[in-house]
């Protein structure tokens, strides 16, 4: 698939944002939410970071408060960071009915209306579910969900849908058609007009009747055009339920049996570039819903996404402040050394891959180091 610079940018998750988010979670889980820097230093290996944790933390004064106590450095979240943590928790509480509906839709899309908890945990970050969604959401909807475990093993625990809600069995494609006053749901295409052949294939595919992913697919023949239409509609609906309208194809493939997906799902997605954008950035195949983005910007932002964006802005602000102070200190040193002419250079305030204090991201050119880094980057359950 031809690369789209805007969508590639949208798929780029800032590495430092990922690391700082993991550090935030580590501090929140530590007693009194006040962690010794030595403890965080040990976690740096897990985060695939090299250098001193103290240097790293000081780069983000808006996010982390570092102080010296009894000859030992400690770190806690800044007041502004704690405010965002509280705001995120408040949003999660308000979003609980939305989470329940989202979970219901997922179960309604599955073949037997049951999903394995271990597998579902792989998608909980994509869907915005809190870590404790099992005890936070399920008990409040006893007529809708229940936990079942027929084998007795923890890994075999499943969430089962108890009641079918016809009001939720309406796909995003059908909702869009209703808003436009159309009685014939169809997919949208945002490819450039110069992609003539792709447009022809899209129009031919779109001309056949739309098949709702909420309908029972067991009567459809494998490999038929109707089955392909249903799978495309299912992938479209699953991506519509995620926060960022994107998902790892590997994670999606783990639900092959539950959603009746084909073995070579990535090939099927690549056949429909007008609907999906497939990227192998970071050597991990990811599928993105084209209609969910305007350029590189997400069109409809979930309240949780808005809060997470604020965290990124706060981190950027802290790094900008650190860079400014560091620049002024170096300038003052040069003046004290008697340097008459000081060349003024524009300093970038963007977060870059390079760093000047030794706390660089690990040796990503080494296969093992790169493997651990990508695990942190994409594994939602990473420490």
Mean pLDDT, to the nearest integer, of 186-191?
85
Its pTM surpasses 0.75 = yes
Q: Are 113 and 190 contained in the same domain?
A: no
What are the pLDDT digits (tens) for 199-254?
A: 888 888 888 889 999 988 777 888 888 888 999 999 999 999 999 999 888 888 88
pLDDT band at 15 (very low <50, low <70, confident <90, very high): low
Q: Are 177 and 207 contained in the same domain?
A: yes
CATH code for the domain of 50: 1.10.10
Least confident interval from 2-16, 293-307, 349-363: 349-363
**How far is the CA of 299 from the CAs of 64, 151, 155, 169, 174, in angstroms?**
31, 43, 37, 23, 18
* Structural domain harbouring 232: 170-307
Which one is predicted more confidently, 337 or 289?
289
Question: d(Cα 81, Cα 65) in Å, to the nearest integer?
Answer: 10
The token pair at 301 is 């932002």
Q: Are 65 and 188 contained in the same domain?
A: no
Task: Output the pLDDT for position 69.
Answer: 86
What are the pLDDT digits (tens) for 151-176?
A: 778 788 999 999 999 999 999 999 99
pLDDT band at 302 (very low <50, low <70, confident <90, very high): very high
Spacing of C-alpha 61 from chain mean position? 25
Task: Output the pLDDT for position 1.
Answer: 66
| Exposed e or buried b per residue across 338-374, where buried means at least 16 C-beta atoms within 10 angstroms of its C-beta | eeeeeeeeeeeeebeeeeeeebebbebeeeeebebbe
What are the pLDDT digits (tens) for 71-118?
A: 899 999 999 999 999 999 999 999 999 999 999 999 999 989 999 999
Residue at which a domain ends, from 307, 342, 373: 307
Q: Are 69 and 195 contained in the same domain?
A: no
Q: Are 266 and 247 contained in the same domain?
A: yes
Question: d(Cα 357, Cα 48) in Å, to the nearest integer?
Answer: 16
Q: In this model, does residue 365 exceed pLDDT 50?
A: no
Please, is 308 exposed, middle or buried when counting C-beta atoms within 10 Å of its C-beta (0-12, 13-18, 19+)?
buried
The per-residue DSSP string of 289-301 comes to EGGGEETTEESS-
- Strand order through the sheet with 34-36: 34-36, 72-77, 64-69
Q: Are 262 and 294 contained in the same domain?
A: yes
Least confident interval from 23-32, 57-66, 220-229, 373-382: 373-382
Does 344 map to a domain? no
Does 369 map to a domain? no
Q: Are 188 and 290 contained in the same domain?
A: yes
Does 319 map to a domain? no
Residue at which a domain ends, from 272, 307, 342: 307
Task: Output the pLDDT for position 316.
Answer: 78
Does 102 map to a domain? yes
Q: Which residues pair with 247 in a beta bridge?
A: 287
Does 338 map to a domain? no
The token pair at 313 is 């802005």
**How far is the CA of 121 from the CAs of 3, 177, 184, in angstroms?**
30, 32, 35
Q: In this model, does residue 263 exceed pLDDT 80?
A: yes
Does 349 map to a domain? no
Q: Are 25 and 106 contained in the same domain?
A: no
Task: Output the pLDDT for position 77.
Answer: 92
Task: Output the pLDDT for position 325.
Answer: 73
The token pair at 345 is 């250079």
CATH code for the domain of 130: 3.30.420
Task: Output the pLDDT for position 16.
Answer: 66
Q: Are 55 and 118 contained in the same domain?
A: no
Work out the widest C-alpha separation in the chain, in whole angstroms.
Answer: 84
Residue at which a domain ends, from 44, 77, 110: 77
Q: Are 184 and 234 contained in the same domain?
A: yes
Q: Are 192 and 288 contained in the same domain?
A: yes
Q: Which residues contact 81 (CB under 8 A, 6 or more apart)?
A: 24, 62, 63, 64, 311, 314
Q: Which residues contact 194 (CB under 8 A, 6 or more apart)?
A: none
Total domains in the chain come to 3
pLDDT band at 373 (very low <50, low <70, confident <90, very high): very low
Task: Output the pLDDT for position 376.
Answer: 45
Does 365 map to a domain? no
The token pair at 284 is 């991990």
Does 120 map to a domain? yes
Q: Are 34 and 22 contained in the same domain?
A: yes
Q: In this model, does residue 382 exceed pLDDT 60?
A: no
């Amino acid at each position: 698939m031809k690369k789209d610079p805007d969508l590639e940018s949208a798929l780029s998750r800032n590495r430092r944002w990922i690391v700082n988010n993991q550090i935030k979670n580590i501090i929140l889980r530590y007693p009194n939410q006040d962690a010794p820097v030595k403890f965080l230093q040990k976690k740096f290996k897990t985060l695939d970071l090299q250098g001193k944790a103290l240097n790293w933390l000081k780069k983000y004064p808006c996010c982390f408060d570092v102080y010296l106590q009894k000859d030992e450095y400690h770190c806690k979240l800044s007041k502004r960071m704690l405010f965002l943590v509280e705001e995120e928790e408040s949003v999660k509480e308000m979003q609980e009915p939305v989470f329940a509906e989202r979970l219901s839709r997922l179960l309604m899309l599955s073949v037997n209306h049951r999903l394995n908890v271990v597998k579902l945990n792989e998608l909980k970050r994509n869907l915005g579910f809190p870590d404790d969604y099992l005890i936070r959401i399920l008990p409040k909807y006893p007529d809708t969900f229940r936990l079942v475990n027929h084998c007795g093993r923890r890994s075999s625990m499943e969430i089962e849908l108890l009641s079918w809600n016809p009001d939720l069995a309406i796909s995003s494609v059908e909702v869009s058609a209703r808003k436009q006053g159309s009685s014939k749901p169809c997919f949208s295409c945002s490819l450039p007009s110069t992609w003539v052949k792709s447009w022809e294939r899209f129009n031919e595919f779109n001309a056949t009747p739309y098949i709702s992913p909420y309908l029972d697919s067991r009567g459809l023949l494998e490999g038929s055009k109707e089955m392909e239409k249903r799978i495309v509609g299912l992938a479209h609906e699953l991506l519509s339920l995620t926060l960022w309208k994107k998902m790892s194809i590997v994670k999606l493939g783990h639900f092959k049996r539950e959603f009746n997906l084909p073995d070579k799902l990535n090939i099927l997605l690549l056949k429909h570039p007008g609907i999906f954008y497939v990227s192998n950035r970071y050597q991990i195949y990811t599928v993105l819903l084209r209609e969910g983005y305007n350029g590189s910007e997400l069109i409809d932002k979930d309240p949780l996404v808005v809060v997470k964006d604020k965290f990124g802005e706060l981190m950027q602000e802290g790094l900008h402040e650190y860079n400014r102070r560091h620049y002024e200190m170096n300038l003052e040193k040069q003046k004290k050394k008697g340097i008459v002419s000081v060349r003024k250079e524009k300093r970038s305030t963007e977060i870059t891959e390079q760093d000047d204090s030794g706390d660089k991201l690990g040796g990503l050119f080494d296969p093992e180091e790169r493997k651990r880094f990508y695990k942190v980057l994409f594994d939602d359950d990473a420490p």
